[in-house]
A and B are shown apart, each in its own frame.
Chain A
Amino acid sequence: MAQPPDRNPADPWLHLAATTPARIALGRAGGSLPTREVLRFALAHAQARDAVHADFDSAKLAEMLRDEGLVVAEAASRAADRAAYLRRPDWGRDLSEASRTALTMDGAGGELVVVVADGLSATAVEAHAVPLVRALRPHLDRARIPLTTAVVATGARVALGDAIGQALGARAVLVLIGERPGLSSPDSLGAYLTFDPRPGRMDSERNCVSNIRPEGLPVAAAAFKLAWLTSEAFRRRLTGVALKDESAALRTESENTALPLHG
């Protein structure tokens, strides 16, 4: 038997779709979405939802970071589970009592502490955090900024890094955290650099590099930016709106990776 014809062909402006990651020229069934598009959307949403609720294997990440030669501690926020995390951003910014005590006793620390945090996408952290740390270290070595300590944090908002940084006496803290998953980007990592971290720091006192993922800002380019920002932060003793990212001017052709945002 012959195949039935596709009754919902794509729209005749399909060629324009090459210019944007937006879902254009989808075709229609009557005025509604064709079945294939309903399913394509459902799959993307399922992946984003799974990323939000994915279990965060902090022990495994800690092990991977130790393999990179770092001293690694684990910490948890006051948000004990995912439901509490989503409802109580204030708890996600605050260390649990046990973690506060453990980190203070620990005595580790140093100039720069990296916090690897689940945030809203454990998927993103597990995929990109360790490669990013690995890519970052040669740049930091050249800038003579020692990186010896990492903390793997569960139930974390960005500002949890302030409490961790303070407990460890760090001069600056770099939080690598899973960003809110977009429909076309379930694995996007964000990086937030805060000089002189302590609770109460405002977002305007941090520098952020976001959308770190292969289809967004690739790890190598992100590492270059972050190393530049870190080096400037140590030189000028600040982060935030007063520190503008001018790293692009220094990038060589090979480092200046184009940012293909087409998903």
Chain B
Amino acid sequence: MPFRANAGRTTYVFADLKDLLAKASPPRSGDQLAGIAAATMEESVAARMALADLPLKAILAEPLIPYEADEVTRLILDSHDIGAFAAAAHLTVGGFRDWLLSEVATTEALAALAPGITPEMAAAVSKLMRNQDLILAARKCEVITRFRNTIGRKGTMAVRLQPNHPTDDAAGIAASIVDGLMYGAGDATIGINPASDSLPVIGDLLKLIDAIIHRHQIPTQGCILTHVTSSIQLIERGAPVDLVFQSVAGTEKANAAFGISLSVLKEGLDAARSLKRGTVGDNVMYFETGQGSALSAEAHHDIDQQTLEARAYAVARAFKPLLVNTVVGFIGPEYLYDGKQIIRAGLEDHFCGKLMGVPLGCDVCYTNHAEADQDDMDTLLTCLAAAGVSYIMGVPGADDVMLNYQSTSFHDALYVREAFGLKRAPEFEDWLRCMGITDETGRLRPPDPGHRLIAAE
């Protein structure tokens, strides 16, 4: 069904819902590359005006990819909770924005609504929201997940300790783990991106993390960010797998390019849960996403990259993950050109995920060919901390020497803790205090040269 809107002296016509969503999307290079972006700024605002008047129900009625052609579409529609949706079923997209910002939209109301929100609804309303709206609405959402600690409570923010090494050297990785722990990071997970895809190498890395966690009784979980099918094989061989990782995207075809399907993810979930390694919960999945992944796999069906990103959260949501991470600036300037686009995308992703009830963290990051720098990352990090982000990355000195990009550092995490009074996962906060790493207020104590974490390596 075509949509129309008048702006200035022009009547704009949008062919269908996906055309309307694409043209209403704030500017980004990936949509321009795909040839689906608005031609002018006026056209983009006209699209937003038409979108604002669209009933949320109309979004349910017009799947962006045919039901028969795409299992992610089937998942979204088949798992939609009509009862939960009832609270917002009378609203237009514009009215939904107003509702989200009102006092009526409490933390409890948002949690109850989440199963009724499809990714297309979340994406649609986000396109009408300014950055401050994305922060304020996300801040009201609380998504709590558990494995060996509790992530997502209001007033807390966790950190993934990311101790990557260009050759997976065990001593080098252990050194970065010590560095992170001594800086009070690692409650989200100690998660390694391996350089190798060899199963024996990955098995050794799993044992390395497992040994450190057990030796020091750390209330956290380990993860090797390898393909889900590798993790399943490692579980079958008896490897100590806490979390199963996988990159996911918002269409069946893009997931196929990652070598996965919903049924493979279900196998991963079942395999990890069978080990019963969690102590306070069984959220065992760790997913990564990022705007532009579907287009780069030529699997975007002419849908804008931000809407597709929200659809990836619907995939994640089905597997009750501990952590979902938008790796926002990693993909490069052909998808997110500069600091402004990266900041906007990070806030959209976090808002959409939280609105859908998904534990969104963000890899606040950029590559050296993007028009961005540390100041842009500081801005996004500060905005996300204000928005209540579940967790961020902790990379030594913000420089990932294996993946060759810049993320956030252990120091960056300390900055937002200081600026916003954010605590760690409570079990991990207690452990740090018992280990003498932090004081009663959660601040780092002067490092003890003879500390057992240092001596052990």
Among B399, B411, B457, which residue has its beta carbon within 8 angstroms of that of A44? B399
B373 CB to closest chain A CB (Å) equals 7
Knowing A87-B334, A180-B404, A183-B368, the reply to whether A22 touches B411 (Cβ < 8 A) is no
**Residues from chain A with Cβ under 8 Å of B414 in the complex:** 28, 30-32
Selected A-B contacts with CB under 8 Å, 8 pairs: A11-B182, A13-B175, A16-B174, A26-B411, A31-B414, A37-B397, A120-B369, A183-B399
Knowing A41-B374, A44-B399, A120-B369, the reply to whether A12 touches B166 (Cβ < 8 A) is no
Among A22, A37, A45, which residue has its beta carbon within 8 angstroms of that of B368? A45
A33 CB–B CB distance under 8 Å: yes
Q: Mark B208-248, 1 if CB is under 8 A from A, else 0.
A: 00000000000000000000000000000000000000000
Q: Beyond A12-B448, A45-B374, A180-B367, list 6 extra A-B contacts (CB 8 Å).
A: A11-B179, A22-B399, A26-B397, A41-B398, A120-B369, A261-B166
B388 CB to closest chain A CB (Å) equals 20
**Residues from chain A with Cβ under 8 Å of B447 in the complex:** 11-13
B178 CB–A CB distance under 8 Å: yes
Knowing A28-B411, A45-B373, A183-B399, the reply to whether A261 touches B167 (Cβ < 8 A) is yes
B401 CB–A CB distance under 8 Å: yes
**Assembly CA distance A30 to B414 (angstroms):** 9
B131 CB–A CB distance under 8 Å: no
B415 touches A23 (CB 8 A): no
B173 CB to closest chain A CB (Å) equals 7
A86 touches B333 (CB 8 A): yes
Residue with the highest number of chain A CB atoms closer than 10 Å, among B167, B173, B396, B449: B396
**Assembly CA distance A86 to B399 (angstroms):** 22
**Assembly CA distance A22 to B174 (angstroms):** 11
A25 touches B179 (CB 8 A): yes
**How many of A's residues come within 8 Å of B, CB to CB?**
42
**Residues from chain A with Cβ under 8 Å of B337 in the complex:** 86-87
Knowing A13-B182, A41-B397, the reply to whether A22 touches B334 (Cβ < 8 A) is no
**Assembly CA distance A48 to B404 (angstroms):** 11
Among B165, B399, B443, which residue has its beta carbon within 8 angstroms of that of A184? B399
**Assembly CA distance A37 to B398 (angstroms):** 11
B75 CB–A CB distance under 8 Å: no
**Assembly CA distance A22 to B33 (angstroms):** 35
**Assembly CA distance A16 to B173 (angstroms):** 10
Knowing A20-B173, A31-B443, A32-B414, the reply to whether A13 touches B179 (Cβ < 8 A) is yes
**Residues from chain B with Cβ under 8 Å of A242 in the complex:** none
**Residues from chain B with Cβ under 8 Å of A80 in the complex:** none
Interface residues of A in 23-52 (CB under 8 A from B): 23-26, 28, 30-33, 37, 41-42, 44-45, 48-49, 51-52
A52 touches B411 (CB 8 A): no
Q: Mark B419-454, 1 if CB is under 8 A from A, else 0.
A: 000000000000000000000000110011101001
B149 CB–A CB distance under 8 Å: no
Knowing A16-B179, A17-B175, A19-B169, the reply to whether A31 touches B415 (Cβ < 8 A) is yes
B7 CB–A CB distance under 8 Å: no
**Residues from chain A with Cβ under 8 Å of B107 in the complex:** none
**Residues from chain A with Cβ under 8 Å of B401 in the complex:** 20-22, 182-184, 261, 263
**Assembly CA distance A52 to B404 (angstroms):** 14
**Residues from chain A with Cβ under 8 Å of B415 in the complex:** 31-32
A166 CB–B CB distance under 8 Å: no
Q: Which 10 A-B pairs have the closest CB atoms?
A: A23-B397, A31-B414, A20-B172, A182-B404, A12-B449, A16-B175, A24-B179, A48-B368, A19-B171, A22-B396
B33 touches A87 (CB 8 A): yes
Interface residues of B in 381-417 (CB under 8 A from A): 395-399, 401, 404-406, 409, 411, 414-415, 417
Q: Mark A76-94, 1 if CB is under 8 A from B, else 0.
A: 0000000000111110000
**Residues from chain B with Cβ under 8 Å of A30 in the complex:** 414, 418
